């Protein structure tokens, strides 16, 4: 499992066990981020693969002269 995915899994597991306030104190994530991770996890059918980061590059690149590459 990817390191980022493992961290997100640990945070959500901690949240389920200890509650929201303890999780916010223990990890440097916002409340909004926690709920977004939980929503993504539940909507994926409880698959941890949803947390593996993908490509964040835009679909098309624009060069300086405005022509698509």
Distance CA 35, CA 32 (A): 5
Q: What is the pLDDT of residues 7-65, one digit of tens each?
A: 999 999 999 999 999 999 999 999 999 999 899 888 888 777 777 777 566 667 666 67
Residue pair 41/33 in contact by the 8 Å Cβ criterion: no
**Can you give the pTM of this predicted structure?**
0.70
Q: How far is 30 from 50, CA to CA, in rounded Å?
A: 19
More confident residue, 69 or 34: 34
Domain boundaries, the chain: 3-51
């Amino acid at each position: 499992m990817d390191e980022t995915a493992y961290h997100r899994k640990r945070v959500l597991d901690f949240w389920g066990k200890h509650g929201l306030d303890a999780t916010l104190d223990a990890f440097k994530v916002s409340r909004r981020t926690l709920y977004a991770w939980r929503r993504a996890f539940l909507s994926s059918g409880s698959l941890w693969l949803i947390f593996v980061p993908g490509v964040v590059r835009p679909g098309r690149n624009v060069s300086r002269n405005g022509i698509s590459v």
